[in-house]
Structure 1
Amino acid sequence: MDPTGHAGGAAGLMEGVHPIGEVLSRAAAGDFPTVDGGWRRVDPWRSGVEGVVAFTGHAFLAVDDAISDGTLVALSPDGFGGASNPRLVSRLAGSGWIDALDIVLVARGAGGEPALVPRSDLRNHPRAEHATSVRSDVATYGYAAPGDHTLVTLSTGLGGLPEVGLETDPAQDHVGADVVRDALTLVPEDQVVVAACAPGNARALRAFMAGGFEPVASVQLWRPER
């Protein structure tokens, strides 16, 4: 299989838009890659971060030029789970950090009057620091009350799309789904926005889905040291 040009539903991507961002945007509209077991190699969307994004029956491997096409082919990726094989991910990451396998969810921005305010005092929150390690242009938001430490991060994330992350303050009575809806007011109306959630974090997953997100794919990121 040609790792750089197998179509499988990925043909005709918009010029100037990262392939992962384009495919996720199409998935948000109900247009998914072809279920053919195929995979495609693409450039990373962020320097120093690589990953695999897998849809039903089709996968995308974002790796830099240090990995040859021959090496990728020898690792036997495929769109039926092979591209997310832990041995493949470990080989590509080398001794670098490997993130958990996450569910990718998509929604659309609500626009309008933002329900959250900038909170620079939350910049050192562990979730904000994690976002900074794998995303770009990370901004931190929350509620106006200074004693409320509910955090929402908004950044340039997966495939160059806006990406949100959040953590509610357990001392407050916020409902997770309401925080998700408030986070969507930070994104222009109808703009596709993504979120990533560990499958085992069922409470967060339910909150994202109740707040308007839908699952479309999986993602596993790593910062390679080869």
Structure 2
Amino acid sequence: MLLMTTLAAILRAAEHGTFPPPDLSVSVVPPPSDREYCVVSFTGHIVIAADVDPAWVAEHLPPGDLSAPTNPPFLSALEKLTGRRVSALDAMLLAPALTDEAERTAATAGLTELHDLAHPRVDRAWRYRDDVRAYVDAHEGMVLTGRGLADRLECAIEVPPNARLQGHGRRLALAARALIPSTASIWAQITPGNAASLRTFLAAGYKPIGSEALLIK
């Protein structure tokens, strides 16, 4: 059991291609904020960001079982200890910003910023992110960006049913890479069972980084 740095430092390092050592260990770090308790899984390494005692974590994890921190028995115990619930177990994907100005312009062509904070998708985004911005296209598709877990840049997309299977989702996912500073990277969280969304983001240049389970109030 390791007590490492901060989740923000771990995620920033991942954005630059440096990951926790794949030593089959578990790191316990403080939660980035009261909103952001989570279990983040990288290859061969688990990071638990929560206000919990590392000794409690060790007591509730079978030695050598790296799948245990993301399995129901441990997550249920963590829910009970923290008074929170696990919202979902999502795949984490990451992509760098588009840097070529022509590509950035082409990727965002046709998008208009939406200022309707009462829109259900925008309202939901504000529950988990700060600095949320939303953009819509002529097909009523939407791409959102914001500051989420440990202040990382995150995105989400929504394509209406009548516009699916036409490449609009991939274009919106690519647009997210042009809506952020050219020196930044952007994350996407996708339920593994949503294969269509996974394919969309992979086609837009995002790469799998790990998984996460957020514990929300």
Q: Is the 8 A contact 1:181 1:212 kept in 2?
A: yes
Name the CA distance, whole Å, in 2 between partners of 1:90 and 1:28: 30
Tell me the SS of whatever aligns to 1:26.
Answer: helix
5 Å-filtered alignment, 1:1-226, equals 1-2=1-2, 4-5=3-4, 19-64=6-51, 67-76=52-61, 80-94=66-80, 96-110=84-98, 112-113=104-105, 115=108, 116-121=111-116, 123-125=118-120, 127-143=121-137, 145=138, 148-172=139-163, 173-224=166-217
The 3 A distance-change label for structure 1 pair 200 and 107 is: same
User: How far apart are 1:79 and its partner, in Å?
Assistant: 7.3
User: How far apart are 1:223 and its partner, in Å?
Assistant: 1.4
Aligned residue identity for 1:38: S
The 3 A distance-change label for structure 1 pair 180 and 60 is: same
Higher helix share: 2
Q: Is the 8 A contact 1:93 1:223 kept in 2?
A: no
Name the CA distance, whole Å, in 2 between partners of 1:155 and 1:24: 16
Aligned residue identity for 2:94: V
Tell me the SS of whatever aligns to 1:99.
Answer: strand
Name the CA distance, whole Å, in 2 between partners of 1:79 and 1:54: 13
User: How far apart are 1:195 and its partner, in Å?
Assistant: 0.7
User: How far apart are 1:23 and its partner, in Å?
Assistant: 2.7
Tell me the SS of whatever aligns to 2:11.
Answer: helix
Query: Root-mean-square deviation (CA), in Å?
Result: 2.3
The 3 A distance-change label for structure 1 pair 47 and 80 is: same
Q: How many aligned residue pairs are there?
A: 205
Q: Is the 8 A contact 1:39 1:79 kept in 2?
A: no
User: How far apart are 1:38 and its partner, in Å?
Assistant: 0.8
Name the CA distance, whole Å, in 2 between partners of 1:220 and 1:177: 25
User: How far apart are 1:123 and its partner, in Å?
Assistant: 4.4
Q: Is the 8 A contact 1:59 1:79 kept in 2?
A: no
The 3 A distance-change label for structure 1 pair 93 and 130 is: farther
Q: TM-score under structure 2 normalisation?
A: 0.83
Q: Deviations over 1:117-138 (max 9, x none)?
A: 311237422x433322222222
User: How far apart are 1:87 and its partner, in Å?
Assistant: 1.6
Percent of pairs identical after alignment? 29
Tell me the SS of whatever aligns to 2:180.
Answer: coil
User: How far apart are 1:168 and its partner, in Å?
Assistant: 0.9
Q: Is the 8 A contact 1:164 1:195 kept in 2?
A: yes
Structure 1, unaligned stretches of length 5 or more? 6-12, 14-18
Tell me the SS of whatever aligns to 1:52.
Answer: strand
Runs of 4+, deviation exceeding 6 Å: none
Name the CA distance, whole Å, in 2 between partners of 1:149 and 1:90: 39
The 3 A distance-change label for structure 1 pair 52 and 109 is: same
Tell me the SS of whatever aligns to 1:215.
Answer: strand
Q: Deviations over 1:94-148 (max 9, x none)?
A: 25332111000000112544713311237422x43332222222222222x4xx4
Q: TM-score under structure 1 normalisation?
A: 0.80
Tell me the SS of whatever aligns to 2:162.
Answer: coil
User: How far apart are 1:20 and its partner, in Å?
Assistant: 2.9
Structure 2, unaligned stretches of length 5 or more? none
